[in-house]
Amino acid sequence: MARIIAGVAASHIPAVGAAWDNGKADEPYWRPVFKGFERSKEWIARVKPDVCIVVYNDHMSAFSLEIVPTFAIGCAAEFPIADEGWGPRPVPAVKGYPELASHIVQSVVLDEFDLTIVNRMEVDHGLTVPLTLMFGKPKEWPCPIVPIAVNVVVYPVPTGNRCYMLGKAIRRAVESFDKDLRIVIFGTGGMSHQLQGPRAGLINREFDTRFLDNLAPDPEALVRISHLEYLREAGSEAIELVMWLIMRGALDDRVKEIHRFYHVPASNTALGHIIFENMA
Ligand code: DHB
Ligand code: FE
């Protein structure tokens, strides 16, 4: 049986990827950011997942206003790196796991949770920046990736509770896959940030800290945060945090916090990161 053994949440700030790609990781501005992931890299090198399920959002790279799936899953064998305006990031293409992804679709849809099947998709910073933060600069990513894309860009976006329930459905799907696989699930994006308008650069450290504090012991409190509350308290793009709730929903009720990191500012946003392991 396949099992989800751990969850990783991490912001996916594009400037962090650009700093890494352009050899700036050791500059004084960026050094603390990458230092916060040193333990994470050691942890994941030790854990050696067979597969990572990466819940992220596309930023109008693979999709556009023509088609906006609420939840989509990449079933392809390979996902090319998107060109977001400066050429594709110089990172390896992402290898998928079509057999597992197709199994997840079948299980989750029959579980009354609709996922859009995507057989051709480029992946952007939402997915690649957390891979860089966790795995550094390998020739190839160390394991296949199943991308799950969530619409948090065009209203209406799914509720935190819907995301949390999807996480539980993904877990049931994984556990009915007949191969011994140890899987780590990622939730990306967040924390507080607002990229445009008069409130651009808004950071709410208190909101972020409460979110990090509650994620392990009381996710049920977090699933009740309304869209308006995310927007008001933590900025328009903080809504990306609903993707962390998919990760959390896929884990045990009781989890162990392995590592946490919070840093302000990175670009003009707050960077948050946390790792949980299932107790079993
Ligand atoms: C930025 C973009 C993002 O998608 C994000 O999650 C955080 C920051 C940015 O453009 O700075
Ligand atoms: Fe984003």
Residue 273 appears among annotated catalytic residues = no
Close Cβ partners of 155 (under 8 Å, ≥ 6 residues apart): none
What confidence score (pLDDT) does residue 72 get? 98
Successive 10-residue mean pLDDT values, the chain, 280 residues:
98 98 98 98 98 98 97 98 97 98 98 97 98 98 98 97 98 98 98 96 98 98 98 98 98 98 96 95
How confident is the model at residue 280, as a pLDDT?
Answer: 74
**Catalytic site residue from 12, 103, 193, 273:** 193
C-alpha to C-alpha distance for 264 and 255, rounded to whole angstroms: 26
CA distance 127 to 107: 23
Amino acid making up residue 171: R
Interaxial angle between packed helices 242-249 and 205-215, expressed in degrees from 0 to 180 and rounded to the nearest 10: 10
**Does the annotation mark 193 as catalytic?**
yes
Task: Give the single-character DSSP code of 142.
Answer: S
pLDDT per position as a tens digit, 21-70:
999 999 999 999 999 999 999 999 999 999 999 999 999 999 999 999 99
Query: How far is ligand 1, taken at its centre, from the CA of residue 61, in Å?
Result: 13
Q: Give me the half-sphere count of Cα atoms (radius 13 Å) on the Cβ side of residue 44.
A: 28
Nearest CA among 242, 165, 188 for reference residue 52: 188
What is the H or E stretch that residue 166 is in? helix 160-175
- What pLDDT was estimated at residue 19? 98
CA–centroid distance for 231 within its chain: 19
Residue 152: CA count within 13 A, CB half-sphere? 31
Q: Which residue among 237, 268, 273 is best mutated to probe the pocket of ligand 1, counting the most ligand atoms within 8 A of its Cβ?
A: 237
Cα of 114 from ligand 2 centre, angstroms: 23
DSSP strand pairing (94-95 vs 255-266):
unpaired
Ligand 1 atom closest to Cα of residue 11: 6
